[in-house]
A and B are shown apart, each in its own frame.
Chain A
């Protein structure tokens, strides 16, 4: 077996491994919560998570992209508060980001 023959095999093992690890993290949090008692404190921790995940993903991205990202995200918040419509909010966010960059902000 030449080195060339080994490659596709190794790369599919690599892909399978990545897929397996990704599936494992997808299910293990769900599984683990079945093994613990959901006390009021655990409940509050779970309730705080969605917003915390969003903040932890969004803030570093905004910091990295500067003012256009900050303006875009602010526009999204404003539209969501006024209209509560995802489509308009996302469109407004993209438009503000595009305009801010076109204007060289």
Chain B
């Protein structure tokens, strides 16, 4: 499971096949859960009155489970200017955590030509980023890990949106199989290799506590961003 070290971590990152393969491989365990989310979105989109083309376009271009499911909560026909503004604001708040994720990729991938890295970031998702982060932690230096993980998830996301839209929910009770918990399960699995001792985990505890408090006391979707930001600040101010 160790990434191939065909490029030294200090060199400029490159785009190779090894990273692509690592990215695809590490999404495989996640795909059933991803497909359930995609189907859920497709089904809800159909119920909300989106056309087939609208639902598939949204999955193909937005490519974010959180943003799309929140959008479906707000969506109403006819779509007014007010609805569009509300949708834009919600997508931004839900996506704020991506701001932090993008920031962590800079020291590694900042040397790549903008014309290559900015389009590649289209494919970034929570899972893509976490797989890439783990790959980098283990000494990998192949930027294609983003493409491998991103494309693999994208194909399943779009395909399962279609299935959900056309067929309705194929799996009636995803809870029965624990599939509604696939994201926390996957995230924790990715977190364990990042463990560097209890002192380095203090920010994680701060992040978790702030996120929990925000989740209970502040309505909306601020809690991930607020928690992660608090953890990051704590990390910056704990002297090593």
Q: Is the CB of B106 within 8 A of A34?
A: yes
Q: Is the CB of B187 within 8 A of A57?
A: yes
Q: Is the CB of B182 within 8 A of A90?
A: yes
Q: Is the CB of B183 within 8 A of A69?
A: no
CB within 8 A of B189: which of A33, A41, A90?
A90
Chain A residues 68 to 105 lying within 8 A of chain B, measured CB to CB, are 68-69, 72-73, 76-77, 80-81, 84-87, 89-91, 93-98, 101-102
Residues in chain B near residue A32, CB distance under 8 A: 99, 103
Residues in chain A near residue B223, CB distance under 8 A: 56, 60
A1 located at the interface, meaning its Cβ lies under 8 Å from any Cβ of chain B in the complex: no
Chain B binding surface SS class: helix
Instruction: Give the residue name and chain of the A residue nearest to B110 (CB).
Output: A34
Task: Tell which of B3-11, B12-20, B83-91, B152-160 binds the partner.
Answer: B83-91
Chain B residues 186 to 234 lying within 8 A of chain A, measured CB to CB, are 186-194, 200-201, 203-212, 215, 223-228, 230-234
Residue tally, chain A, CB below 8 Å to B: 76
CA distance A87 to B88 in the complex (A): 36
Given A42-B236, A52-B207, check contact A15 B58 (CB 8 Å): yes
Q: Is the CB of A57 within 8 A of B190?
A: no
Instruction: Give the residue name and chain of the B residue nearest to A60 (CB).
Output: B215
CB within 8 A of B235: which of A49, A61, A80, A96?
A49
Q: Is the CB of A52 within 8 A of B204?
A: yes
Q: Chain B CB within 10 Å — which of A21, A46, A51 has the most?
A: A51
CA distance A22 to B123 in the complex (A): 11
Given A51-B194, A56-B211, A94-B181, check contact A18 B203 (CB 8 Å): no
B100 located at the interface, meaning its Cβ lies under 8 Å from any Cβ of chain A in the complex: yes
B77 located at the interface, meaning its Cβ lies under 8 Å from any Cβ of chain A in the complex: yes
Residues in chain A near residue B30, CB distance under 8 A: 90
CA distance A87 to B184 in the complex (A): 14
Chain B residues 137 to 186 lying within 8 A of chain A, measured CB to CB, are 175-186
CA distance A97 to B94 in the complex (A): 27
Q: Is the CB of A97 within 8 A of B230?
A: no
Q: Is the CB of A76 within 8 A of B188?
A: yes
CA distance A96 to B188 in the complex (A): 14
CA distance A69 to B183 in the complex (A): 11
A13 located at the interface, meaning its Cβ lies under 8 Å from any Cβ of chain B in the complex: yes
Instruction: Give the residue name and chain of the B residue nearest to A50 (CB).
Output: B133
Q: Is the CB of B97 within 8 A of A53?
A: yes
Q: Is the CB of B204 within 8 A of A51?
A: yes
B43 located at the interface, meaning its Cβ lies under 8 Å from any Cβ of chain A in the complex: no
Residues in chain A near residue B79, CB distance under 8 A: 7, 10-11, 13-14
- Shortest Cβ-Cβ A-B pairs, 5 listed: A48-B235, A52-B231, A56-B227, A97-B178, A29-B102
Interchain residue pairs with CB less than 8 A apart (9): A3-B78, A10-B80, A18-B58, A19-B61, A21-B88, A22-B63, A55-B231, A62-B184, A102-B176
